[in-house]
Structure 1
Amino acid sequence: MEIGIDSFAANVPDPVTGRLTPPAIRMADLIDEIEVADRVGLDVFGIGEHHRPEFLDSAPAVILAAAAARTKTIRLGSAVTVLSAADPVRVFQEFATLDLISQGRAEIIVGRGSFGEAYPLFGFKFEDYDELFVEKLRLLLKIRDATEVTWAGHFRPPLNGQGIYPRPLQAKLPIYVGVGGTPESFARAGTLGLPLMVAIIGGEFRRFRPLVDLYRDAGRRAGHPPEVLQVGLHAIGFVAETAQDARDTFFPGWLTMFGAIGRERGWSPPSRSQFDAMAGPHGAYLVGDPESVAAKMLRASETLGGVSRITLQMSVASLDHRVMTRSIELLGTEVAPRVRAAAQSGEPSHG
């Protein structure tokens, strides 16, 4: 099982002091965090895409290219690229270039995005987001499979045999589909035979088992072998020396971020009891000490019928850089070895 981190390059005021880190310093810290993740042996680091004031990740390929020059083995990808509002030609070119810079470590996770700002920003209608995604995903896959592309669609000018350059170092640039909770999205990914990244930011892992089964069933009906139908999991997480320290450290920033998003979307105000339930044995947050986080990862994998990757979203809590790097170190040196050893031996999770 691969273990990694996803970041939205969040840059919000410290929940205690109210101070805002200058964007250039926050970006330097982020590159350093990716370096630390590489050094401690994590498998993948993903950068999201947002077009909002509290995030600095509107150009993920640029951030990843900077990280590629300072890392050696960690895979670098988007988490996610908002393909519905992007040009598939340009997306492919950017990540093919990243693949060359990183010597074959690039990958793309495509999705429709959890926020809607990208659509009017780039001249699209949010209500077309699904039709946009379907058309653009098929074009992106066509570009991946052929240098010269002939294609026509509704939302983009046609291609008439033009060459799409550069080509990546990898023979087949990895493309995952990032999904939330829409059954059609799971079924579509399975039918196309694309690996899946499931974003679970609330509730319980078991709630997603029927959707994962739907993905695998759709893939089998389309004739794809089981080994192609890989399932990854993206969840909110944080690791500290003790479970109580992890919760107490992560909660203030989580409350600030989810309180702001909740007010925007009309949700009920978040609470400590809600957070503790999500971080508890049955909730979907991977927040705790190394032993409990590793055990919960293994239980999540069992619950979903086996997952090939788990990535933690840590940046939503606006943590101090030193705190963040320590958590990354614990994830790489304490959590990952436990998970890999148990997964390799076939041991069941505990608890």
Structure 2
Amino acid sequence: MSDRPTYDRLGTREHPSLGLDTFGDVPLDGAPGNHAETLREVVAEAVLADRVGVDYIGLGEHHRADYAITAPEVVLAAIAGQTSRIRLGTGVTVLSSDDPIRVYEKFATLDAVSNGRAEVQLGRGSFIESFSLFGYDLADYDRLYAEKLDLFAALQAEKPVSWQGTFRTPVEDKQVYPTTAAGLPAWVAVGGTPESVVRAAEYAMPLVLAVIGGSPAGFVQFADLYRRALKEFGHPELPIGMHSPGHVAATDEQAREELYPHQAELYTRLGRERGWGPYSQIAFNQAAGPQGAMFVGSPDTVAAKIAWSVRTLGLSRFQLKYSVGALPHEQRMESVRLYGEEVIPRVRRLLAAD
């Protein structure tokens, strides 16, 4: 294979990839087996997504009671065995508290068993539990990520690697296995810091913008910065993706009524950890509005907003984070079905009309 993976499989501005993300949200009602049941539900949701035409499923890595997915590559392997076309990745893999060589090996293995459908999205994560869990000092938060991303980028050539850093012993002329047929695509996921955007461009990795607050239009500056930085580093244009929460139902009213109590409970609980105030209906309505960060509503409403976001940012991929708090499995399944059968065709028609 070539020294670097090709990214034409991930979507283009002319033909964007439309995917889904989940963290495996767990109902915090104390019931035994919630985590195991949630993991089985995630597999079922991904199998449905494959069947209804969704392009990508991303599983987020967390290490806390309210999310079930701590080992996304294991769950993705289970999904791979029951699907045939959907691309399989993360949203995100917390590279700072993992070993880049092990991450590469696991996703190269997933790529083999899924017949070339694996990719990985690398980030620092929005939660910090993994640092103490795996023996890392949170004071090294930034340096750990920068150093480990550098090693991961070196591995993508799939040739013997010699590398030296601060936090691990040197790597001297080591080949990592298994190798892949066409390279392992790796995205850099960012929350909106210029330094992270430029770093993604420096390593010639596609960019994923986590748009979970404000408006997608507010991230145009980061998309533009990324494209300028790619040119300055001498790299070709690469995909830009976007991750945002949402929910699809038959009508706008139904989607909002189903999602709001779970969204409010989750954000109020997280707010107690992070010093935010209680989540309100006003905040929800703003986020779910025409230019807010949440994609909530009927297939027509969600499709129109996705198409607007794709045009505004020049996206090659959109990823809807469809699971929120204790939103029931049945409602998540219906949201996945509507997304694949009705939202995606509408988005494609809207963009083709341009």
Q: Does 1:337 align with 2:345?
A: yes
Q: Does 1:142 align with 2:157?
A: no
AA partner of residue 326 (structure 1): E
AA partner of residue 187 (structure 2): Y
Q: Does 1:78 align with 2:78?
A: no
User: 2: distance between equivalents of 1:320 and 1:193?
Assistant: 39
Q: Does 1:211 align with 2:222?
A: yes
- 1:11-22 map, 5 Å: 11-13=26-28, 22=34
**Secondary structure at 2:147 match in 1:** helix
Contact (CA 8 Å) 1:142, 1:149: kept in 2 or not?
yes
Tell me which of 315, 321, 331 is aligned to 1:313: 321
Q: Does 1:297 align with 2:312?
A: no
Aligned to 1:68: 80
Contact (CA 8 Å) 1:82, 1:113: kept in 2 or not?
yes
**Secondary structure at 2:161 match in 1:** strand
- 1:27-106 map, 5 Å: 27-106=39-118
Aligned to 2:132: 120
Tell me which of 287, 291, 296 is aligned to 2:296: 287
User: 2: distance between equivalents of 1:303 and 1:268?
Assistant: 31
- 1:149-228 map, 5 Å: 149-169=161-181, 171-226=182-237
Contact (CA 8 Å) 1:252, 1:317: kept in 2 or not?
no
Contact (CA 8 Å) 2:202, 2:230: kept in 1 or not?
yes
AA partner of residue 213 (structure 2): G
Q: Does 1:237 align with 2:246?
A: yes
Describe the superposition over 1:113-160 as per-residue Cα deviations: whole angstroms up to 9, x where unpaired.
101111111121222222111111111111120332111111111111
Describe the superposition over 1:259-285 as per-residue Cα deviations: whole angstroms up to 9, x where unpaired.
111110001111011101110112111
* 1:317 to partner: Cα distance: 3.3
Change (3 A) 1:80 1:42: same
Tell me which of 269, 275, 282 is aligned to 2:284: 275
Contact (CA 8 Å) 2:214, 2:293: kept in 1 or not?
yes
**Secondary structure at 1:36 match in 2:** helix
* 1:180 to partner: Cα distance: 0.1
AA partner of residue 294 (structure 2): Y
Describe the superposition over 1:33-75 as per-residue Cα deviations: whole angstroms up to 9, x where unpaired.
0000000000000001111111111101001011100111000
AA partner of residue 177 (structure 1): V
**Secondary structure at 1:215 match in 2:** helix
Normalised by the length of structure 1, the TM-score is: 0.94
User: 2: distance between equivalents of 1:38 and 1:318?
Assistant: 23
Q: Does 1:326 align with 2:326?
A: no
User: 2: distance between equivalents of 1:110 and 1:230?
Assistant: 15
Aligned to 2:24: 9
**Secondary structure at 1:238 match in 2:** strand
Runs of 4+ aligned residues of structure 1 deviating over 4 Å after TM superposition are 18-21
Contact (CA 8 Å) 1:13, 1:20: kept in 2 or not?
no
AA partner of residue 118 (structure 2): A
AA partner of residue 315 (structure 2): V
AA partner of residue 43 (structure 2): I
CA RMSD of aligned residues (A): 1.4
User: 1: distance between equivalents of 2:223 and 2:174?
Assistant: 37
Change (3 A) 1:313 1:21: farther
User: 1: distance between equivalents of 2:220 and 2:135?
Assistant: 36
Change (3 A) 1:19 1:231: same
Contact (CA 8 Å) 1:12, 1:20: kept in 2 or not?
no
Contact (CA 8 Å) 2:158, 2:179: kept in 1 or not?
no
Identical counterparts, % of pairs? 45
User: 2: distance between equivalents of 1:316 and 1:87?
Assistant: 29
Aligned to 1:349: none
User: 2: distance between equivalents of 1:21 and 1:335?
Assistant: 33
> Which sits farther off after the overlay, 121-130 or 91-100?
121-130
Contact (CA 8 Å) 1:294, 1:339: kept in 2 or not?
yes
Contact (CA 8 Å) 2:28, 2:66: kept in 1 or not?
no
**Secondary structure at 1:145 match in 2:** coil
5+ long unaligned stretches in structure 1:
347-351
* 1:345 to partner: Cα distance: 3.5
User: 1: distance between equivalents of 2:31 and 2:265?
Assistant: 13
AA partner of residue 319 (structure 2): T
* 1:19 to partner: Cα distance: 6.1
**Secondary structure at 1:233 match in 2:** strand
AA partner of residue 18 (structure 2): I
